[in-house]
Amino acid sequence: MEEMPIKMEHLLHELSVLSLAGGHGEAAGFSLTNYTFWLIAAVILVLAFFIAGSRNVKLVPSGIGNLAEAGVDFVRNSVCIDVIGPEGKKYFPFLGTIFFFILINNLLGNIPPALPGTGTVGTTFTWAIIVFLVYNGIGIKKLGFFKYIKSLVPSGTPWWLAWLLFLIELISHMLRPFTLGIRLFANMYAGHVMLGVFAAFAAIFIEHLSPASIAVVPLSVIMQIALRVFELMVAVLQAYIFTILTAVYIGGALEAGSH
């Protein structure tokens, strides 16, 4: 068991941001990292899938066109229209990009030895910041800058309360990109840590065969399988949550003026 800390350190090192050109963290400079390598693979997959899918749409759907349509239909109806309303259709390209990017990254990360492109804050914060800029941009475009800022506080609030409310609202808005980014990152990262832990258990108990191995090894393998299935669910769920929250933020920005 004394190997466990070493294995854990090794695992966490593998899951940290590593430059493919060598070096660690910021020192990596402008070279691809282990995460961005798989991220680019996922982006290529998304593009290939949708370009192939969009060339294959027929009135009677079939094959890859059908799959692409099902995905598009899901995001457009269950996210855009259900959350934002009929005008949500307009924001489908943005929300669809987010959803399919995150979904394919999450799923790809589930196939060893790939890592999820979304398993690093470099990705999740960037996308969360893009969401923050876009939804506020939508609100500002609709109401104008000052009116949009004013709309953070419900009209008719007494001035001494208005300031307090404004501050709370401002903080809550500022926190949104962090919560969005951390939620996705933590889910993907933690999933891989869990998988790594059980893999390490199995490895150690196979290397040092002991009576305990009889119980621990099969259990670890079963946990691996169960966690893989669980991770598939998490992959889809997190993509959905990120997208639906984005839709909620956009819907909120659009509704801001109507109070």
Partner 1 sequence: MELIIPNTTEMWVNIVAFLILFVVLAKFAFPPITKMLDERADKIRESLEKAEDTRVEAERLLEEYKVQMAEARAEATQVIEQGRKVAESMKAEILAKAREEAEAEKVKAIEAIKAEKSAAMAEIKGEVADLSVAVAGKILGSSLTKADHAALIDKYLAEVGSLNEN
Cβ neighbours of 156 (radius 10 Å): 7
Minimum distance from CB of 94 to partner 1 (Å)?
7
Nearer to partner 1, 93 or 218 (CB): 93
Least Å distance, CB 238 to partner 1, is 16
Please say which residue, 126 or 172, places its beta carbon nearer to partner 1: 126
Phi, psi of 27 (to 5 degrees): -65, -15
Q: For residue 18, what are the β-bridge partners?
A: 24
User: Residue 86 CB, nearest distance to partner 1 (Å)?
Assistant: 13
Please name the residue ranges forming H helices in 111-158. 121-143, 145-150
- Closest separation in Å from C-beta 168 to partner 1: 24
Q: Tell me if residue 24 falls in helix, strand or coil.
A: strand
- Cβ-based nearer residue to partner 1, 44 or 209: 44
Asked if residue 257 lies in contact with residue 154, where contact means CB atoms within 8 angstroms, the answer is no
Q: Which is nearer to partner 1, 129 or 219 (CB)?
A: 129
Residue whose CB is less far from partner 1, 54 or 157: 54
Give the residues lining the site for partner 1 (CB under 8 A).
16-17, 19, 25-26, 28-33, 35-36, 39-40, 43, 46-47, 50-51, 53-55, 57-59, 61, 65, 68-69, 72-73, 76, 89, 92-94, 96-97, 100-101, 120-123, 125-127, 130, 182, 185, 189
Give how far the C-alpha of residue 134 lies from the chain's centroid of Cα atoms, to the nearest Å: 17
Q: Print burial letters for 3-22: b (CB count within 10 Å at least 16), e (below 16).
A: eeeebeeebeeebebbbeee
Q: Which residue has the tokens 């946990």?
A: 223
- Closest approach, Cβ 44 to partner 1, in A, equals 10
* Local structure of residue 74 (DSSP, 8 states): H
